[in-house]
Amino acid sequence: MTILLRDAAILAGADHRFIPRGWMRVEGGIIAAMGEGDPPPAPEAQVLDGRRRLAAPGLVNAHTHSQSATLAGFGDRLSHPAFMWRTLARTANRTPRETALAVQLTAWWALSTGTTAILDHFPGQRFGPEDVEAVIAAWHATGLRAVVGLRFFDGGFADITPPGLPPDADGGLLRPQPLESLGEIAEDAIRRWHGRDGRIGVFPAPSNPDRCSDAALTLCASLAERHDTGLHTHLLETATQAAQARARYGTGSLERLEALGVLSDRWSCAHCIHLSAAEIALMARRGAIAVLNPESNARLGTGLAPIPALRGAGVRLALATDGAGSNDNLSMHEAMRAAATAHRAATPDRARWLPAAEALRIATTGGAAALRMPRLGALAPGFAADIVLYDLATPGWLPLNDPVAQMVFAEAGASVRTVMVGGEILLQDGRPTRFDPAALAEEVIGMHGELTRRNAALEAAAEAIGARLP
């Protein structure tokens, strides 16, 4: 099918150059041609009217957790460890259908705020083949581009576990995943799903390097190398994690990966708050990507990523919301604003501030690099037709002063009207096209009640553990 978008304002190319009035022709899910003014004749094309619309590339959320999609407003003023325990308990023991509902809710949130690609770090606990199949198939059904990072650990969670915790006090929430199981499940999932329709990816994804053995990290790196995938992990989200890594290894978490010979440009690392200058330099040297999560970090009080230092060292950056439980929404627009502004009060030198144009870049092509989908994040010939249309007749766009700055500072996702992924319209007039949001809402409400009953004992155990933590 050929689609012709005409008479739209456009943010074009990797530099998001503003075209006040232009056109794009989409063929086979790819942007075939574009230009300014009136388009060449295309009598066979389906025409989209772009008047009073801004066409922009779909945003890329490089770190979230679909299993947390139901946790908006959850656990205010909890410490990071207490939050982790409560979240694990609240999201445990889901059926395949409940996993799919959480994915759909995440997709609805993403589409309604202009996100077209996501890295889903899944799940919170050990997983079996049925869990992996459920989450990947659910993402495939939404039509979004999604990388599922198989969130794995074979060691302990020393960073969130109080000293002297009796065995089984956690109700089995953090039972390690056997290495043999990881290898078999990941190998199968990657072979069957990675690269499917150009929309699905599967990455080995250690929960945190310090929650994994050397053998586990080596296995993950070997899987990624053999199948040409990325690797994804949490990294140095808390000061406790940084201190424990140095106490345990005599060096930092990144230096440990380097010593194992597995640190490379395949890695994308969420949070990256408590980095030393040497670790920042090492990230830059190896091409690893720092995935910023400014709203989640502020919500949980874990710290502020050293954005000026990361930029100054040349570290590749991407952007994310984290899960709804630690952020309360999945709007990448709000994440862009937070990334661009959070460090400014403490950074007198304005030249070191993250400018709006760069915030938009890391939310588009920066995220595409983290997902290892390089033809995303820009409206240009040869790139995927992942296009978002914003309503310019809304308060944040009146008048049109600086479209890039307004994307970052004024827009929150409320003016998103149409979302296209690979040339397919997945959001039309603000409504998803592949699933019924009203029916989804009813099922989610029912799921919440059922999970609350099913996991009552786990929640009580998690709350008791949290009470023992600072």
pTM of the model: 0.98
**Are 362 and 396 part of one and the same domain?**
no
> Residue 115's beta-bridge partner residues?
59
Could you tell me if 233 and 245 are in contact, meaning their C-beta atoms sit under 8 angstroms apart? Answer: no
- CATH code, domain with 407: 2.30.40.10
**Are 250 and 324 part of one and the same domain?**
yes
**Are 333 and 394 part of one and the same domain?**
no
**Are 326 and 427 part of one and the same domain?**
no
Number of domains into which the chain is organized: 2
**Are 42 and 184 part of one and the same domain?**
no
User: Does an H or E element contain 26, and which?
Assistant: strand 17-27
- pLDDT of 49: 97
- pLDDT of 132: 97
Could you tell me if 92 and 121 are in contact, meaning their C-beta atoms sit under 8 angstroms apart? Answer: no
Residues of the chain with pLDDT under 70: none
- pLDDT of 401: 97
**Are 363 and 383 part of one and the same domain?**
no
Give the whole-angstrom CA distance, residue 403 versus residue 407: 6
Amino acid making up residue 330: L
Could you tell me if 89 and 431 are in contact, meaning their C-beta atoms sit under 8 angstroms apart? Answer: no
**In terms of Cα–Cα distance, which of 67, 74, 129 is closest to 93?**
67
- Which H, E and C letters describe 193-222, residue by residue? HCCHHHCEEEEEEECCHHHCCHHHHHHHHH
Q: For 409-428, what is each residue's pLDDT tens digit?
A: 999 999 999 999 999 999 99
What are 206's two structure tokens?
Answer: 């250690």
- pLDDT of 106: 98
**Are 30 and 95 part of one and the same domain?**
no
Q: Is residue 167 part of a domain?
A: yes
Task: Provide the residue range defining the domain that includes 125.
Answer: 59-371
The DSSP string of 394-448 is SGGGSS-S-HHHHHHHT--STTEEEEEETTEEEEETTEESSS-HHHHHHHHHHHH
Q: Is residue 318 part of a domain?
A: yes
- CATH code, domain with 197: 3.20.20.140
